[in-house]
């Protein structure tokens, strides 16, 4: 991971029948939250935009939206994180039935929020068997 010395990894568990189950994993990029300065060497070896939590309109429009169920054809999350650091939240997808009951699907999603043209959007990525996450769409934050 880019800047792994400035990230925080946390796990959330849910207790069910005296057993604990992993509910979500959250990776926070602490760069924007810390008072640490980027070293001159880090700045010289990277694009300044990597330290901003925003995408240009062109970058946003160039994202390949994959199949909404499988992610096939979507832009990999790793490609975006190489250029733009961000906090990533990974969790099991939750859905609501028509009766209002919540259930979990077997899909694992990654959520990343970026600013695009002054508006915040949450980008959704679906997990792949190889560990990659592929872009399936965005929603307004």
Per-residue pLDDT of the chain (141 residues; tens, 9 = 90+): 444 456 677 888 888 888 887 777 776 654 443 333 444 454 454 554 444 578 899 999 999 999 999 999 999 999 988 888 777 888 877 777 777 777 667 788 899 988 898 889 999 999 999 989 999 999 887
Please report, for the chain, the start and end positions of each structural domain, with discontinuous segments joined by +: 4-140
What per-residue confidence (pLDDT) applies to 28? 65
What per-residue confidence (pLDDT) applies to 22? 78
Backbone angles phi, psi at 52, to 5 degrees: -115, 145
Residue 5, helix vs strand vs coil: helix
The predicted model scores a pTM of 0.66
d(CA 20, CA 112): 26
What per-residue confidence (pLDDT) applies to 105? 72
What per-residue confidence (pLDDT) applies to 94? 74
d(CA 46, CA 8): 21
What per-residue confidence (pLDDT) applies to 68? 92
Distances (CA, A) of 46 to 31, 52, 74: 14, 12, 25
Query: Chain centroid to CA 25: how far?
Result: 11
């Amino acid at each position: 991971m880019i800047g792994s010395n400035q990230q925080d990894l946390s796990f959330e568990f849910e207790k069910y029948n005296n057993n604990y189950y992993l509910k979500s994993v959250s990776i926070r990029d602490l760069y924007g939250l810390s008072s640490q300065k980027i070293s001159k060497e880090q700045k010289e070896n990277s694009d300044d935009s990597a330290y901003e939590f925003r995408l240009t309109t062109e970058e946003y429009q160039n994202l390949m939206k994959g199949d909404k169920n499988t992610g096939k054809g979507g832009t990999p999350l790793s490609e975006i994180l190489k250029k733009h650091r961000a906090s990533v939240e990974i969790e099991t997808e939750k859905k609501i039935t028509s009766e209002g009951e919540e259930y979990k699907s077997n899909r694992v999603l990654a959520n990343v929020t970026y600013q695009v043209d002054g508006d915040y959007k949450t980008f959704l990525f679906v997990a792949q068997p190889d560990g990659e996450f592929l872009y399936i769409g965005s929603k307004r934050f």
